[in-house]
Amino acid sequence: MTVEKETVAEQPVWRRFVGRTVLVTGAGTGFGAAIAARAAQEGADVAVHYRSSRAGAEATVERVRAAGRDAILVQADISSWDQIKRMAAEVFDRFGRLDVLVNNVGDVATEQMSWRDIDEAVIDRVLSVDIKGTMFMIHEFGSRMLDQGQGAIVNIASTVVVRGSPRAPQYAAGKYGILGLTKSYARIFAPRVRVNAFAPGFIETEATLRRQDWNTGRREQLIAQTPMGRIPGPDEYAGAALFLASDDAAHMTGNFMIDDGGYSMIGA
């Protein structure tokens, strides 16, 4: 594991977002925190969103400022449109514009170990965040980006849309819904605002490492099924997710990009 981390750290960080502003939802922990920090390393000022992980979000703000960039802390429950409208006003009042939105927030029903554990409450919770909340975010911030004349939105999806989720089918349904939102708003906002979806494979976040199934053989099984032979941490995926918001992807919209070490191997 040490060798892998050193290899990633030695890779150059391209300054793709100098002079731009980025909002990352769910940036208090895990993948969201990694994306926010990477955006700052690439030159962006960053709005760090959280719902309840304030201490984690404050730590992310410090990472952004340590990279020499401005950071603001914003709080909202993204399943509430009123809270999203209030958050949008805060971001635009502070930055004057928003160039990139990364919709990272999602509910993976981490505590659910089997489809047999499903109930109506967990279905409603997951779909409320993954579909309704993502739609609210795209709609509210995308409309403002359209008014300002340009922008890019990256929705964090999942490879479960390819292989399904025997553990939590409502999670797969929620992420599949994100594909519909991505394609729909890509058409609505084109050509001024691009909307794409990024699907990381399994990520060794702190939450993942605490999972019961991860520590009872699942990790080893997944590594054996992954051609690249390892499960990365969140920092390694962050640059790939931000690619979709960069000028290098200027002609990409409505796309679904997978980065999972070959685990899914989608055909033509």
Which two tokens mark 58? 């404050």
Burial of 224 (0-12, 13-18, 19+ CB in 10 A): exposed
d(CA 192, CA 178) in angstroms, rounded, equals 20
- Spatial CA neighbour of 196 closest among 209, 205, 206, 187: 187
What's the Cα-to-Cα distance from 93 to each of 31, 35, 47, 133, 265, rounded to whole Å? 26, 23, 12, 22, 43
Query: Is the CB of residue 39 less than 8 Å from the CB of residue 242?
Result: yes
Residue 45 bridge partners (DSSP): 21
What is the CB neighbour count within 10 angstroms for residue 212?
A: 10
- Decide if 171 is catalytic: yes
Query: Could you tell me whether strands 45-50 and 151-156 are parallel, antiparallel, or unpaired per DSSP bridges?
Result: unpaired
User: Active site residue: 50, 171, 185, 237, which one?
Assistant: 171
Residues marked as catalytic:
171
